[in-house]
Structure 1
Amino acid sequence: MSTSYDCSQPEPRREGLAAASGAVRAGQLVVFPTDTVYGIGCDAFSSEAVRALLAAKGRGASMPASVLVGSWHTIDGLVSSVPQAARDLIEAFWPGGLSLVLPHAPSLSWELGDTRGTVMLRMPLHPVALELLREVGPMAQSSANRSGSPPATSMEQARTQLGEAVPVYLDGGPSGDPVPSTIVDLTAVEPRILREGAVTAAQITEALGHDVPVAG
């Protein structure tokens, strides 16, 4: 049976984060607030947990999970190399609503879906999410909703859609406007914006010092 925890109060927050950390380490799913919308996540290195995440959402490996990290430096162990453009964008917008697509380190044994050797990384600007990530390490993540349904902007919306597939729900209150993160592809020589969201194309251009095209 799933359990929810009110993270606006100190004691339930401590209990919830402990329960969520235990669930992640046990290969289970958790729902938690982020600075964009609510997320569903699990241990990024547990193939079984990632498959359960995709199944809970009702989608297959063709729509892979992204990875959330709890610090700037975590990225160095997850990708094959960190270009200067990535470091500039991380310094400007992390934690925040910016996701970066990079070639993942070939030594990593994870199965996030059909990523074609890449990984999409983000550091969220939310205290509950960051505390959980710093406790358990990188988490595979997606928006906490069934595929094809609107993203959840509250714990109640997430629980209505995902139900008992998730044992632990962390309630951080309403997430605000459901604005997705901006996605920047850094797998080629020149960066390009795959999706414009919380961070504008103009802000990306300013941070990098040159125009960055938006994929059509």
Structure 2
Amino acid sequence: MKNTLILHINDTSIDEALLSQAADAINQNKTVILPTETVYGLGANALNSEAVEKIFIAKGRPQDNPLIVHVSNMNMLEKCVKSIPEDALSLIHAFWPGPLTLILEKSDLIPHNVSAGLNTVGVRMPDHPIALKLIDLANTPIAAPSANRSGKPSPTTAEHVISDMQGRVDVIIAADHSRIGLESTVLDMTHNPPMILRPGGVTLSQLQMLIPEITIDPQVHHSVDSPRSPGMKYTHYAPQAEMTMVRGDHSKVIKKITHLMDEHKHLNCAIICAEEHIQDYPNQNCLSLGSLSNPAFMASQLFTILRKCDELQLDYVITEAFAEEEMGLALMNRLKKAVGYKILDV
């Protein structure tokens, strides 16, 4: 077990002396958990294969799932990739720093364990002052998947990462709650036309304003065996409880969920639903994601709610389905993974 150094750093008033300790750790090929606007990341020097190996060990993650490389400037990006197409540059100017990962052909500087043996690499510039300053101070790109034990819900608070990873990593930067709360959109720029491999904080409609022909990989809606994107292969985000999703006409959904709750009344159960629907399940334990009028907020609450399922020691969780448009597409992508694609259509 590692003696983890926990650095409490304020997002709006960064203590560079403290943050320099984390940057030094990166340059010593150690592991550092860092805040981003999406979720907390488990970082290491992206150009050193031995450092990257420590990410997989800390997460308990198989090495056949690629990692995202985080940069803080264009010079750093140019070191990570062979070329930057014009379409990619237009997206970078529009959405970086921000929750958009671009898959490009990797340079020879990127180790094979970062790209899972693929000839491409996912790169983004995070929209978070601490993350950007850390990368600047370390002066190296940082490979960072979500900072949770593999298969657990992604962490959006310092409390989450300390609970999951203290003793498994060298440094934890404890800062504020992640603003977006879901991982970045992953867009494959090596595909013609460009294709979304993972929905996230930048939506399809936003991307299509610049590149109208952008499409969504059909695998976004299903489980996959051969990932082309970080976070696509394994059942992610799942609490300990058994989970089921019920999808369809809302009146039928209410009836089915009520029936399932009755069937499992001997267990500790809960329903994940929209705020407006709590009244449809009287005398039931409901966990609200928020209002249907604000899908971005609902998405930002998902991982917190999934972690609450473990805090409540639930045995069985039923979730409603939600509209798969705009941020709802990312929300449903993560929820489907959480339930292991066990979906009851009614």
Match of 1:23 in 2: 25
Which of the numbers 13, 16, 31 marks the counterpart of 1:14?
A: 16
Match of 1:49 in 2: 51
What does 1:54-203 correspond to in 2, within 5 Å?
Answer: 54-105=56-107, 107-108=108-109, 110-111=111-112, 112-136=114-138, 137-203=140-206
Give me the identity figure in percent: 35
CA–CA distance in 1 between the matches of 2:57 and 2:191? 31
1:6–1:13 CA contact under 8 A, matched in 2: no
Distance 1:9 1:204, change over 3 A: closer
Distance 1:86 1:11, change over 3 A: closer
1:61–1:113 CA contact under 8 A, matched in 2: no
What's the TM-score, normalizing by structure 1?
0.93
Match of 2:284 in 1: none
Structure 2: gaps (5+ residues): 219-346
Match of 1:215 in 2: 217
Q: Describe the superposition over 1:46-67 as per-residue Cα deviations: whole angstroms up to 9, x where unpaired.
A: 1111111011111121112210
CA–CA distance in 1 between the matches of 2:96 and 2:24? 26
Distance 1:9 1:118, change over 3 A: closer
Structure 1: gaps (5+ residues): none
Q: Describe the superposition over 1:114-151 as per-residue Cα deviations: whole angstroms up to 9, x where unpaired.
A: 14111000100000000011122201111010111011
Letter in 2 for 1:172: A
TM-fit CA distance, 1:113: 4.6
CA–CA distance in 1 between the matches of 2:214 and 2:54? 36
Q: Give the SS at the match of 2:215.
A: coil
Say what the alpha-carbon RMSD is for the aligned residues: 1.7
Distance 1:11 1:205, change over 3 A: closer
Distance 1:183 1:113, change over 3 A: closer
2:188–2:196 CA contact under 8 A, matched in 1: yes
Distance 1:113 1:119, change over 3 A: closer
* Aligned length, in residue pairs: 214
1:102–1:118 CA contact under 8 A, matched in 2: yes
Highest Rg: 1 or 2? 2
2:194–2:213 CA contact under 8 A, matched in 1: no
Distance 1:190 1:51, change over 3 A: same
Distance 1:11 1:193, change over 3 A: closer
Letter in 1 for 2:111: W
Runs of 4+ in 1 over 6 A off after TM superposition: 9-12
TM-fit CA distance, 1:178: 1.7
Higher relative contact order, chain-length normalized (CA < 8 Å, sep 6+): 1
CA–CA distance in 1 between the matches of 2:39 and 2:11? 20
